[in-house]
Chain A
Amino acid sequence: MNAVLKEPPSTGLYSAHQKVYPREVSGRFNRLRVISVIALLGVFYVLPWIRWDGRQAVLFDLPARKFYVFGLTFFPQDFFLLTWLLVIAALSLFFFTALAGRLWCGYACPQTVWTEIFVWMERWTEGNRQRRMKLDQGPWNANKILRKSAKQALWIGFSLFTGFTFVGYFTAIPVLAKEVATLSLGSWEWFWMLFYGFATYGNAGYMREQVCKYMCPYARFQSAMFDRHTLIISYDAARGEPRGSRPRAVDPRSRNLGDCIDCNICVQVCPTGIDIRKGLQLECIACAACIDACDDVMEKMQYPRGLIRYTTQAAMEGDKTRVLRPRTLIYGTALVLLIAGFFLAVANRPLVEIDVLRDRNALYRRLDNGDIENVYTIRLVNKDTKPHEMRLRVEGLHEAQLDTEAPTYIVDAEGIVSIVARIRVPSTVRGGQDIEVIATSTDGSGVESRAEARFIAPAGI
């Protein structure tokens, strides 16, 4: 038979997934994460409710194609600013990774943050690690059904609220709240609310560490930013080994033991289920739960803290850790320049933007008196929150005249005006010429915006 069609054996590459039951942990770094979770989720859930100048402070109004961020209004024409912002975000990730490893993963990633909340809810309803494991192994009795349904109710409710908040960034949230109360949401609002809610439920409730292990692109390439001076979480094998249990009163040296009492708590608290004592691993999201857990044990044993600690490869090998090094300096400088440039670009954004489109139907028209005429459609986009009265003129071509129906045009706040403009030149002009159309405000606000265009005259004979 054809050997190619044989079903491949399913051993080797992919081991069966084992559910991780992270043990609860307390300590310095866990406190830091709790603060981070509350701050980040707080911002996410509260931000859409904040008002600014009588409207929602942060609203990405997709139907109207306008994006409000506090006092600023952005249009699709400002897309390069978003690209710029994403480049800044990517570079900050590089910079902080080079400096302090996977800080993002351990404290700020939405996956971590929402998983943390979902684990809390799991703990409230199903109890601590031991109880959760026992409950899962036990039979489906009244207690199990009650606890599991309570957990599901909390999870589903919170997921739906998350989906609702997410949609609230795109649809005015007070209106959305009323629609939810009366169940009169539009079909797309329904769809995206359930979609995002379901994604939260699945990712934070069930996928958890598997998202980091199998789905996250950052987890795959972050090691490229690492070097000997990057902060990592590491087990001090020289101090810990040989590991083994011992009574508290015994001096470990007398039994030829290191400081690790092999209590396995560092493994039990790990949300990705790894053993940090085996060295740095791809799965480690640098959440520092094992540091908190081990410090706790060390204190109980009256050993010094830091058997597992934040350190660098250089420090572990007895060298000095260098924070300032070419990698961090280059990332840092580029980051500062990009951020400064971004704010400059936002501050100097023209309040009224001008677009010039040449009429596609005719290259040019010769008038009765011999003059040559090109027709353009000019679009003025007012990004300001107040109206502006604008006048158009043309530059770059001698004796060119710009003619519009009205002498000036009023562009409403956040409004768009389309103007048909005719530009005329004497018959002596030949060939294609570069011109510039300028819109200037006549209301004394000093707004001016320019756009380049092409004027086409008959070719020279």
Chain B
Amino acid sequence: MNKRTQLDVGVVVWASFLTACVATMVCFAFVDPLLIGDDEAPPSWARDRMTGYAVGFFFFWMSCALASAFTAFLVETRRTDGTDDV
């Protein structure tokens, strides 16, 4: 991994972590993980609330990281005349 890629990965992981923290807090302030799913029967991964919160957190982290990575990938524009210096 070159220096630039390392930095990109760091920024993506960090920015998505911060966003996921906020998203998790807001989400579970309104949603009780035990009530996710149909007919008030929780899916198997949410049988206790702590697991529900953690799964939710990692879900948000992953989604935000995907969005961040995609953004980083798209904004990394390079010149086509061979003089790129990014």
Contact = CB atoms under 8 A, between A and B. Distances in A.
Interface of A: 3-4, 6-10, 12-14, 62-63, 65, 76, 79, 82, 186, 188, 191, 214-215, 217
B29 A82 contact: yes
A337 B7 CA distance: 42
A6 B82 contact: yes
A141 B35 CA distance: 59
Given A10-B3, A14-B7, A62 B53 contact: yes
B3 A14 contact: yes
Given A10-B3, A82-B25, 17 more contacts: A3-B80, A3-B82, A4-B78, A6-B82, A6-B84, A8-B2, A8-B84, A10-B4, A12-B85, A62-B49, A62-B50, A76-B28, A76-B29, A79-B29, A186-B50, A191-B54, A215-B14
Contacts of B85: 8-9, 12
B49 A3 contact: no
Contacts of B11: 214
A62 B80 CA distance: 53
B36 to A, nearest CB: 14
Contacts of A8: 2, 4, 78, 84-86
Contacts of A214: 7, 10-11
A4 B29 contact: no
A80 to B, nearest CB: 9
Contacts of B14: 215
Contacts of B30: 76, 79
Contact of B80 (A4, A7, A186, A217): A4
Contact of A188 (B51, B80, B82, B86): B51
Contact of A63 (B3, B50, B82): B50
A231 to B, nearest CB: 28
16 contacts: A4-B78, A4-B84, A8-B2, A8-B4, A8-B85, A9-B85, A10-B2, A12-B85, A62-B49, A62-B50, A65-B32, A188-B50, A188-B51, A191-B54, A214-B7, A215-B10
A217 B30 CA distance: 27
A-B CB proximity, top 8 nearest? A3-B82, A79-B29, A188-B50, A76-B29, A63-B49, A10-B3, A14-B3, A215-B14
A82 B30 CA distance: 13
A191 B25 CA distance: 18
**Interface residues of chain B: helix, strand, loop or mixed (majority):** helix
Contacts of A188: 50-51, 54
Contacts of B53: 62
Nearest to A11: B85
B48 to A, nearest CB: 7
B43 to A, nearest CB: 17
A186 B54 CA distance: 13
A200 B75 CA distance: 32
B81 interface: yes
A217 B19 CA distance: 12
A428 B4 CA distance: 74
Nearest to B28: A76
B50 A14 contact: no
B29 to A, nearest CB: 4
Contacts of B25: 82
A65 B11 CA distance: 32
B4 to A, nearest CB: 7
A169 to B, nearest CB: 14
Contacts of A7: 2
A128 B50 CA distance: 45
Contacts of A215: 10, 14
Interface string B14-45: 10001000000110111010000000000000
Contacts of A3: 80-82, 84
Contacts of A191: 54
A186 B48 CA distance: 12
Contacts of A79: 26, 29-30
A62 B54 CA distance: 11
Contacts of B4: 8, 10, 13-14
A361 to B, nearest CB: 14
A188 B50 CA distance: 7
Nearest to B6: A14
Contacts of B3: 10, 14
